A and B are shown apart, each in its own frame.
Chain A
């Protein structure tokens, strides 16, 4: 509960961050809201030699609207996503989900970038962004590159960022005439999902995301295919456990989590009008 010794730098610009990352490599860790990283450090499960605090890079905190895309700065806090007029009118799903993360304190500290870069399969926003077909923008010494959300989550707590890159923006294609459903099973309001599901249906298609059902946040292509093929919610949801590998603990066995996945996917699909 007391972290090991570390050095601390408060970064003043994105370039400075990239420079520091280049210099210190894997010894450095970026600190955004700290709500995933600091607990690990307190338990000494993470012992970075250098913390680069990016929490005050205000230029990376925004929600803006482009023609077909909603762009969110990586350091936008959950609370700001939950209350932004842009998200509320253009992607209310994002606002709704961000508004249910953890508790008030968590939502005022935690950032969308941290939620994604941590690579936690239980991240709500990661699954939602998968379902929405988002793109992530990384910046490194050679400039910016875009990574499809589908390709971003590599394995448990591992994402497709290079050690000298940081995530700067999340780009969400504007869903047209979307209906959506978001369901998560928790023991307590503030808890991470035991299992969660999100479904979006819009003119551009259907997206189904699964929370905490394997080593990485998942997009359920089996359910999506069933919907596209004309299945109703219950029929499509029967495929929800396909390709999942949930872990088992005292909050639920593998079979229980897969069962709940089917239930929540069905409910989410029903809300999405499937």
Chain B
């Protein structure tokens, strides 16, 4: 019997549930000094002076460094695509462009001293005009980078077809916001560094990509990559935002080099809310057209991406949005144009879904409005337009090639689990009765891209003479459960117990290469690499066994039930993995295989989510009653881990629909820099989910698996958003922007009832 597909308990959990994890801030680092950053209190200003005289004179303060002291170059562009003038400096240089931007680094004997010294550094600013609204930024009226002559950091505009909507009987348009959110990993950013006796930089980092951190440190600090050793202890979440290297990381490494003392830095939550990259932040204008019978014929989306103050990964998120333009629908004509602009706010970056949830949110919202316009049930409209299962591989109008899918099956299953017709009947009942609490039912059919970046991955498997199996992987889990999943893959190939398998990750000396964990790539590339290494080790073991048994290589059988090799037909005479490893050791070799797997290419998970909400029409408060998720990530290796990913994803997706938003005032002051003001969701706001998987294996990789890390956020947000809008549609509300907080929902109802048109509510 195969272990794959079973609910194997997470091997990681006993530690977390008993003694707890060890994060960077927990590491003992005797004699270490602490770095704290002086951060800008202005959104846009020229720095007239930074006076650190008082701070430097404080007992226990070692140094205060500004960008001039560092003499380090600016960050590079993203793959040469973003505007070169807009990359961030290490510390602010001449101008600050967002509240929270690091201006100076204070190094002190203790964290408390460093914090006290912070208050003694006097920064004199000369205010500049603040640009906070991306729509305004796009006009180039006030520039963040005068030298660039524009606020646009990146664009994708291939011109438009003037006739796109010509044959459409019905055309519906909408401008909607996919609001800025904060990823909020429970562990904030943290780093610790010291120089080893042999002159190497030892660096601990809370990151999703240890090798990326190693390479960045080497580049900036002028070291060879092998002079830098990066280790990630336990990492308490990242959600994409810890995939990037931050200026603070480099400064910590620089300080360790400069001072020759161990240096550490852990940001506070308030700093994290301003310093860790934000996600989403798009304004979208969408247009959809088709026939009154519900055939969608044309779709166009224009994306305005808020890059934040500097052009980092956030600038290129629309690339992914564009790839997923037409979603799971067979739309003959579809276009996407995007413009990324800088504003005086925290730089944006990848956040769970990174560009794809935005695409789904746009098309799913306008599908509902289209259905309403032609008076068709939204589930029926979707059914009529979904790509058929025989259409794969399917090339979309923007030339994305979807691998495989059965989109109708997911929709039908979701409707069945939800009891859709009964829900609609209950909705009619409440509407007719004029209940205070109205029912909303929202659908979202999605398809998304996983493993969208071209990187391959490293995997290695070694069987030791004591029978233990050592697995090394280039992926870098921070909650996902790779230790469990990779153990399952290896146990399956080798026929050993998972307790005998040790999985090593996050140490650049032990694992030579790795792209890390992001973009729902890990299983399909990293897991596949480990799987391939396991297959290779079995082959090597068979060679050894053939020698030992003096038998023909092709006659060697691995009996996976008990992990022993024998010659076909004579199972009584067998050798264990340990014995073969011992034999290899005697030969002076090891029973070992290592694989650099090229990326097998992207895969396209899909599914349907249905949300059932209740809206208190007197206060605008939304209560989520049910959430049904049918997800298809190809072959499911570990149902427990897959469900866990879906659960967490739904929580974050619901949070975006209902609660979360990073808010700035017009002067660029952040209003949500604590978790009291920023509405991070909790279990109390969520129902028990009803999750199902359909399994349509992908032909793209050997495992048949697609990524499941981000589907939950991608599928859930539009379902909840649509449900909220659906609950009050009969009152004349057309659209409510996310997050659908009580005040927004109530304002929308109030405006509709009093005839004030479409409300955005809130401010």
Interfacial residues, chain A to chain B (CB-CB below 8 A): 1-2, 4-5, 39, 43-44, 103, 185, 187-191, 194, 249-253, 256, 259-260, 263-264
Contact = CB atoms under 8 A, between A and B. Distances in A.
7 contacts: A5-B116, A188-B682, A189-B682, A194-B742, A250-B663, A260-B742, A260-B746
A1 B743 contact: no
A188 B681 contact: yes
B720 to A, nearest CB: 14
A256 B743 contact: yes
Given A5-B112, A187-B659, A189-B682, A263 B742 contact: no
Contacts of A256: 743, 746-747
A250 B679 contact: no
Contact of B682 (A5, A190, A249, A252): A190
A187 B679 CA distance: 8
Contact of B618 (A187, A191, A250, A263): A263
Interface string B731-763: 000000000011100110000000000000011
Interface stretch (B43-51, B266-274, B352-360): B266-274
A62 to B, nearest CB: 30
Given A2-B112, A189-B682, A194-B742, 10 more contacts: A2-B268, A187-B659, A187-B741, A188-B659, A188-B679, A189-B684, A250-B762, A252-B743, A253-B743, A263-B618
Interface in B97-135: 111-112, 115-116, 119
Given A5-B112, A256-B747, A250 B671 contact: yes
Contacts of B746: 256, 259-260
A190 B683 CA distance: 10
B268 A1 contact: yes
B685 interface: yes
A144 to B, nearest CB: 35
Interface of B: 111-112, 115-116, 119, 268-271, 618-619, 621, 659, 663, 671, 674, 676, 679, 681-682, 684-685, 741-743, 746-747, 762-763
A249 B742 CA distance: 13
A103 B659 CA distance: 18
Nearest to B672: A250
Contacts of A259: 746
Contact of A1 (B269, B621, B742): B269
A71 B87 CA distance: 63
A84 B671 CA distance: 39
A236 B619 CA distance: 18
Main secondary structure of the interface of A (DSSP, over half): loop
B59 to A, nearest CB: 13
B49 to A, nearest CB: 23
A249 B119 CA distance: 28
- Counting from the closest, the 9 A-B pairs by CB-CB distance are A1-B268, A189-B684, A2-B115, A252-B743, A263-B618, A256-B743, A1-B270, A187-B679, A250-B663
Contacts of B685: 188-189
B619 A190 contact: no
Contact of B619 (A5, A44, A263): A263
Contacts of A188: 659, 679, 681-682, 684-685
Given A187-B659, A187-B679, A188-B682, A251 B741 contact: yes
Nearest to A39: B676
B265 to A, nearest CB: 13
A240 to B, nearest CB: 13
A185 B742 contact: yes
A4 B113 CA distance: 9
B652 to A, nearest CB: 14
A264 B741 CA distance: 17
Contacts of B268: 1-2
Contacts of A43: 270, 674
Contacts of B671: 249-250
A169 to B, nearest CB: 30
A256 B745 CA distance: 11
B749 to A, nearest CB: 11
B742 A252 contact: yes
A194 to B, nearest CB: 7
Contacts of B762: 250
Nearest to B665: A250
Nearest to B658: A187
A21 B115 CA distance: 28
Nearest to B685: A188
A46 to B, nearest CB: 15
A171 B36 CA distance: 48
B663 A1 contact: no
A118 to B, nearest CB: 14
Given A185-B621, A189-B682, A1 B747 contact: no
Contacts of B674: 43
A47 B246 CA distance: 32
A1 B271 contact: yes
A253 B761 CA distance: 9
Contacts of A264: 619
B672 to A, nearest CB: 8
Contacts of B621: 185
Contacts of A1: 268-271
B741 A190 contact: no
B741 A2 contact: no
